[in-house]
Amino acid sequence: MRYVTQKGTKDILPSEIHNWQIAEQTFADVCHSFGYEEIRIPTFEQTDLFQRGVGDTTDVVTKEMYTFEDKGGRSITLRPEGTAGVVRSYIEKGMSSLPVPVRMFYNITAFRYEKMAKGRFREFHQFGLEAFGAKGPDIDAEIISVVDVFFRKMGLQNIALHINSIGCPNCRGEYTKLLKDYFRPHVASMCEDCQARFEKNPLRMIDCKVDGGKDIVKNAPRLIDYLCDDCKEHFEGLKARLEAIGISYTIDPNIVRGLDYYTRTVFEFVSENVGTQGTICGGGRYDGLVGTMEGPETPGIGFAMGVERLLLEAEAQGVLKEKPSYVKIYIASMSEAAKIEALKICYALRNAGIGCETDMAGRSFKAQMKYAGKQGIPYLAVIGDDELNSGEVKVKNMADGSETPVKLSGIGEFLAGN
Ligand SMILES: [Zn+2]
Ligand SMILES: [Zn+2]
């Protein structure tokens, strides 16, 4: 039997992991610069947390969750996203007593049983953040700024910000009635999902992937034209803040999130580059979610970003980085005694934080040199009887071929200065 990765999963190999690490570190650094701190939540939670927190009419919950019964008879689900777990933690750990806003970011794997397509995985990675307790548009502008700064630090360009407001339960009630009256004569001609949405969640008919291109959807009344005064003021406040900061945006009335606890601001960052068009990051406000999950009524807002999608974009834009050389020097040895000395030197170098290698495979001297060259290790030192006697070695810079005599005990100092 030959074992292979399961459909929808992948190995991230040592040859490519550095770009993941760079993205992860950059995201953490940017979040820290805004006062967000990392939270790590469990990979699985009880199933009804997601039914409640993500919404039991969503595709994610109805079609895509990895749910199973554990040996104790509990219904367990692998997290399909990050927000529900963070909200659960916020409530369970009493974070509502902390000074607001409570700001947290995360870097997780998530699991969805999705149809396979390019760049789609069933185990995938998300960066995201959540902010609790701030209800004004300042925090909306802040989390959008986090994404904007992150993309800049990653060297990404041409990623457009689309914003919309989906109002609050007050203004949405009126609008939903209007929308149903509008769609009623056409519902039979729409897809099966939309026919179900018409009763349960008509707002979602606006962003239907099947019917979205049809005039009937394009000409539908837009929620943004029916906002109540408070929601209108909030949206104007966000626009003014983005303009003041200098982040450009377009208003896209077709971004919707059709669950009651999503309120007001929704946004997406969309690539405009040929070949990689599509949403890289989506987020919005969920002032009703903490209350829905039986926590104290608390406004909240967050976003999630697909890391696979992000790295595809970085690759397409040519901003992926070269793999760094963690190993700075190779210590080759010409005799058994020299090898023992090389081991001692390597131990000292590693304690000084300098990456180094010496032969572990019983290679001949010639084969050691070949190995070091192939690995692209930037410095080389060869230890034989002469070096052991004199206590001095020539450290060779492989890039320009120059050699510098250095004391055996001074290699670390030399490398630290180069
Ligand atoms: Zn409203
Ligand atoms: Zn449809």
Q: What's the 103 CA to ligand 1 centre distance in angstroms?
A: 25
Which ligand is nearest the CA of 191, by number? 2
Q: Are residues 140 and 271 in the same domain?
A: yes
d(CA 162, CA 248): 9
Whether 119 maps to a domain, the answer reads yes
Query: Among 316, 348, 371, where does a domain finish?
Result: 316
Whether 177 maps to a domain, the answer reads no
Q: What's the 174 CA to ligand 1 centre distance in angstroms?
A: 10
Banded pLDDT at 98 (limits 50, 70, 90): very high
Q: Are residues 405 and 258 in the same domain?
A: no
Q: 358, 346 in Cβ contact below 8 A?
A: yes
Q: Are residues 38 and 125 in the same domain?
A: yes
Q: What's the 226 CA to ligand 1 centre distance in angstroms?
A: 8
Q: Are residues 305 and 405 in the same domain?
A: no
Whether 389 maps to a domain, the answer reads yes
* Domain enclosing residue 73, as ranges: 17-168+228-316
Q: Are residues 253 and 397 in the same domain?
A: no
By 3-state DSSP, what share of the chain in percent is helix, strand and coil, each rounded to 5? 40, 20, 35
Residues with CB under 5 A from ligand 2 (ion): 190-191, 194, 208, 210-211
Q: What's the 265 CA to ligand 1 centre distance in angstroms?
A: 11
Q: What's the 215 CA to ligand 1 centre distance in angstroms?
A: 27
Whether 181 maps to a domain, the answer reads no
* Mean pLDDT of the residues in the chain: 94
Q: Are residues 113 and 233 in the same domain?
A: yes
Q: What's the 200 CA to ligand 1 centre distance in angstroms?
A: 20
pLDDT digits (tens, 9 = 90+) for 4-60: 999 999 999 999 999 999 999 999 999 999 999 999 999 999 999 999 999 887 889
Q: What's the 227 CA to ligand 1 centre distance in angstroms?
A: 5
Q: What is the pTM of this model?
A: 0.93
pLDDT mean over 312-327: 93
Q: Is the pLDDT of residue 244 over 80?
A: yes
CATH number, domain containing residue 360 = 3.40.50.800
CATH number, domain containing residue 111 = 3.30.930.10
Q: What is the pLDDT of residue 357?
A: 98
Which ligand is nearest the CA of 195, by number? 2
Whether 255 maps to a domain, the answer reads yes
Banded pLDDT at 213 (limits 50, 70, 90): confident
Q: What is the pLDDT of residue 117?
A: 80
d(CA 390, CA 406): 11
Q: What's the 206 CA to ligand 2 centre distance in angstroms?
A: 8
Query: Among 316, 342, 362, where does a domain finish?
Result: 316
Q: What's the 245 CA to ligand 1 centre distance in angstroms?
A: 25
Number of domain units in the chain: 2
Q: What is the pLDDT of residue 294?
A: 95
Q: Are residues 61 and 112 in the same domain?
A: yes
Q: What is the pLDDT of residue 18?
A: 97
Q: Which amino acid is at 384?
A: G
Q: What's the 188 CA to ligand 2 centre distance in angstroms?
A: 10
Q: What's the 257 CA to ligand 1 centre distance in angstroms?
A: 15
Q: What's the 284 CA to ligand 1 centre distance in angstroms?
A: 15
- Token pair listed for 294: 């039986």
Whether 113 maps to a domain, the answer reads yes
d(CA 271, CA 274): 8
Whether 47 maps to a domain, the answer reads yes
Q: What's the 209 CA to ligand 2 centre distance in angstroms?
A: 6
Banded pLDDT at 373 (limits 50, 70, 90): very high
Q: Is the pLDDT of residue 111 over 80?
A: yes
> DSSP label at 324?
P
Q: Across-strand partners of 330?
A: 357, 380
Q: Are residues 152 and 30 in the same domain?
A: yes
Q: Are residues 335 and 295 in the same domain?
A: no
Q: Are residues 333 and 372 in the same domain?
A: yes
Q: Is the pLDDT of residue 69 over 90?
A: yes
Q: 150, 271 in Cβ contact below 8 A?
A: no
Which ligand is nearest the CA of 233, by number? 1
Q: Are residues 286 and 407 in the same domain?
A: no
Residues 246-271 as b or e (16 or more Cβ within 10 Å = b):
ebeeeebbbbbbbbbbbbbbbbbbbb
Q: Is the pLDDT of residue 171 over 80?
A: yes
Banded pLDDT at 258 (limits 50, 70, 90): low
Q: Are residues 345 and 299 in the same domain?
A: no
Query: Among 293, 316, 339, where does a domain finish?
Result: 316
Which ligand is nearest the CA of 224, by number? 1
pLDDT mean over 256-277: 85
